[in-house]
Amino acid sequence: MALRWTFLLLLTPLLAAQGQENPDPNISGEPQETGRCEVPSDWDPRLQFTPEQSSYALNDSVQLSCAGEYVPSVPHIRCVSRGMQTLWNGTATCKEVFQVVPGTLEISSTSIKLNWTCRLPDTCQHMRATCRLAGPSSPPCEAEEVEGEEMLHGQEGTFICPPLQPFTDYSVTISLPPSTILFEWLVRTEETVPDKPEKLWLDPNTGSLRWKALPPCKGEIIGYQLNITARSTRDGGLLQMERLRLSRSVTEHPLPGHGLGHSYTATVQGVTAVGAGAASLWEFQPDGLGTPHPAGISCRSVRDVSPSQGTAVLPLQPIARPPAEVREHQLIVAATHNGTLVEGACSGEPQPLNASRQPDTYVAAVLNLTAPTDFVLGAGTHGQGYRNAALRPGWDYTALLRLIQRSQEAEKFTCICYSFSLGK
């Protein structure tokens, strides 16, 4: 640092001395040229100077013009002196009378906008800007014609097409009637999320859920998000949740549990590059079950509960059936009997227990289960990311033994729930 300062301090006086000793050689060496301005050779060749001369005296003012549909960026320039130099008091170029300001064309999924300028408002006063569908619309993606036409007034403005359909081609035109087209663009509006699939149904022949492929009206369909929740009606407490990301060519998927002895809730959403759209819902309740709350799940009961010690003994059985590469089960505790919250916990990402908060949902244990085990919940053990804290008297609890299987396109959560209360 010190070295660099020294260098700068030495350099500054040197630079100042150089500036004084060597004035501009072009001015000092050519006395005839002193006090006159010439037309710079690198200026826009379309510029015309009035009066037209090969050079101009100090203080001469020159009127500028351009040929055709162009106007000068400044109407006058003057030859001025600055120190020993003579130069023009500014630079000039020829600009189009009408211009769409570069970089201002903005396209969204429902609008097209641009900024324009007109340097001669009298010339531009009959100009029109229009938006039109670029081609005939065809089913299933029918787009309505738009009535977007605007007369342009003044020196500048913003032209906005009226509300447009997403992912549709429009032509934006700026014209001078009757037949001069100044600008024309073909613009495709941006994509948005797709509409919800028309319907989702069970194919009784195959036991698969099916849906109608979505048309690319709001964007290219890149796939479907299928979420299925299956609750076993025979094996109390078994809950299966599948989160599937399917490719766009897929329009059916088998139900987990083959449709037997389960109640189901399923949603399907189309996905474009922008994201997933609204969901189509399908629910199924086996006959003879009445109509309980769709999220109401029946859990296994726990007999061995000790409110005084804050423990409950859970008869755990491995969920994974051999040959299963995943053996790691998590034991999640939720201080609720609310079925919606319990389902959320089965597919959620519970945090380790935080002692300074009310218990809500936490991981109590991580177990490599290979055989049935009686597990004491609330025994106080803890490890990396989990804590088997003592249960609180007076609270309702749900415990979930969970197995997660993940692949690139699917997440499957299988949970067995146990519910109990730590009475008063």
| Interacting residues with ligand NAG between 137 and 176 (CB under 6 A) | 158
Site string for ligand NAG, 268-297 (x = CB under 6 A): -x---------x------------------
CB of 304 to ligand NAG, least distance (A): 23
Quick one: which of 364, 334, 357 has its CA closest to 347?
334
Question: Pick from 50, 63, 89, 381: which binds ligand NAG (CB under 6 A)?
Answer: 89
- Examine residue 356 and tell whether it contacts ligand NAG (CB under 6 A): yes
Rounded Cα gap, residues 96 and 104, in angstroms? 16
- Examine residue 225 and tell whether it contacts ligand NAG (CB under 6 A): yes
Judged by CB under 6 A, the stretch of 8-16, 76-84, 161-169, 316-324 that binds ligand NAG is: 76-84
Judged by CB under 6 A, the stretch of 122-130, 297-305, 333-341, 416-424 that binds ligand NAG is: 333-341
- Examine residue 368 and tell whether it contacts ligand NAG (CB under 6 A): yes
Question: Pick from 61, 63, 206, 247: which binds ligand NAG (CB under 6 A)?
Answer: 61
Measured from the CB atom, is 132 or 245 closer to ligand NAG?
245
Find residue 153's DSSP bridge partners: none
CB of 321 to ligand NAG, least distance (A): 17
Q: How many CA atoms within 13 Å lie on the side-chain side of 57?
A: 0
Measured from the CB atom, is 165 or 267 closer to ligand NAG?
267
Question: Pick from 338, 348, 396, 404: which binds ligand NAG (CB under 6 A)?
Answer: 338
> Which DSSP string corresponds to 106-173?
EE-SS-EEEEEEES-HHHHTT-EEEEEESS--BTTB------EEEE--SSEEEEEPPS--TT-EEEEE
Rounded Cα gap, residues 247 and 228, in angstroms? 16
Quick one: which of 57, 93, 98, 92 has its CA closest to 77?
92
Quick one: which of 381, 354, 374 has its CA closest to 312?
374
- Examine residue 24 and tell whether it contacts ligand NAG (CB under 6 A): yes
- Examine residue 22 and tell whether it contacts ligand NAG (CB under 6 A): no
**120, 121, 126, 132: CA torsion to nearest 10:** 90
CB of 81 to ligand NAG, least distance (A): 8
- Examine residue 78 and tell whether it contacts ligand NAG (CB under 6 A): yes
- Examine residue 58 and tell whether it contacts ligand NAG (CB under 6 A): yes
- Examine residue 301 and tell whether it contacts ligand NAG (CB under 6 A): no
**161, 167, 168, 170: CA torsion to nearest 10:** 40
Quick one: which of 302, 292, 297 has its CA closest to 346?
297
Look up tokens 């009035």; give the residue: 50
Instruction: Tell whether omega for the bond before 292 is within 30 degrees of 0, i.e. cis.
Output: no
- Examine residue 366 and tell whether it contacts ligand NAG (CB under 6 A): yes
Binding site for ligand NAG (CB under 6 A): 24-26, 58-59, 61, 76-78, 89-90, 104, 115, 158, 225, 227, 243, 267, 269, 279, 328, 338, 340-341, 354, 356-357, 366, 368
